[in-house]
Amino acid sequence: MRLKFILLLLVVLFFVITPVYGQLLSDATGLINRFDVQTSGYIFEIKLTSNFDLTDYSFDEDQKQIILYFDSGLENNLGEIIIPQNLLSGDLAFYLNDQEFFPKIQSNEKIHFITLNFTSSGSNVITISGSEYLSGLTEIVSIENKIPITNEISSDNYFVWFIVAAILIIIAAFVVIKLKKN
């Protein structure tokens, strides 16, 4: 009886104490989006951390630009985007819904770190244009080597699950025996 009371008390305290330490999410909470741009035989990863939802993106190698489509339920939007220097470099131009804006840009020899801070809610489009494309790289001619992909399920996975299930059964049996003795 005493063990049941302690267990019940712990469960009740868990639901009472836990919300006290919870915090509301701020407008600056970031959603992380990683997406790959494939062009001229190279794959570049772009990382966007923002308080708005990226719905789609595209890359136009002729125009040397990345286009980001997103939705926001907030008026004040904040985002940080990391673009590899090899993908776009030189003079970068930024347009929000076809109007030029000037975010904070920090660059080194490998990346551009861009802080986007603007006011606009609903569906929006950001266009990032560079004056140089694939700087320091040469175009790779694609050779198609198609390797068949098979969906084989490894028997090792079944063995791991079997071991986990066996351990859980042993623990459950031990707890039941311990409770019956008390």
Q: What is the pLDDT of residues 136-178, one digit of tens each?
A: 776 665 545 444 544 444 555 677 777 888 888 888 888 888 8
Establish if 65 belongs to a structural domain.
yes
Mean pLDDT of the chain: 80
- Report the pLDDT averaged over residues 84-107: 91
Q: What are the residues whose beta carbons fall under 8 Å from the beta carbon of 101, sequence distance 6 or more?
A: 94, 95, 118
What are 112's two structure tokens?
């551009």
- By the 8 A CB rule, do 112 and 85 touch? yes
Portion of the chain with pLDDT greater than 90, in percent: 29
Domain range spanning residue 104?
A: 31-133
Question: What does the pLDDT read at residue 149?
Answer: 45
CB half-sphere exposure, 13, CA atoms < 13 A: 6
Residue 90, by phi and psi: left (phi above 0), alpha (psi -120 to 50) or beta?
left
Question: What does the pLDDT read at residue 151?
Answer: 47
Task: Point out the least confidently predicted range of 19-28, 30-39, 68-77, 119-128.
Answer: 19-28
Establish if 99 belongs to a structural domain.
yes
Number of structural domains (the chain) is 1
Establish if 155 belongs to a structural domain.
no
What are 20's two structure tokens?
């006290």
Distances (CA, A) of 8 to 1, 5, 171, 176: 11, 5, 21, 18
Establish if 144 belongs to a structural domain.
no
| Phi, psi values for residue 151, rounded to 5° | -105, 75
CATH number at residue 98: 2.60.40
Unique residue bearing structure tokens 């719905």: 55
Is residue 84 pLDDT above 50, yes or no? yes
- Report the pLDDT averaged over residues 62-76: 90
Task: Point out the least confidently predicted range of 1-10, 67-76, 105-114, 136-145.
Answer: 136-145
Establish if 129 belongs to a structural domain.
yes
Question: What does the pLDDT read at residue 126?
Answer: 93
Establish if 47 belongs to a structural domain.
yes
Establish if 52 belongs to a structural domain.
yes
Residue 91's nearest CA partner among 45, 61, 60, 133 is: 133
Question: What does the pLDDT read at residue 17?
Answer: 55
Cα Rg of the chain (Å, integer): 26
Establish if 143 belongs to a structural domain.
no
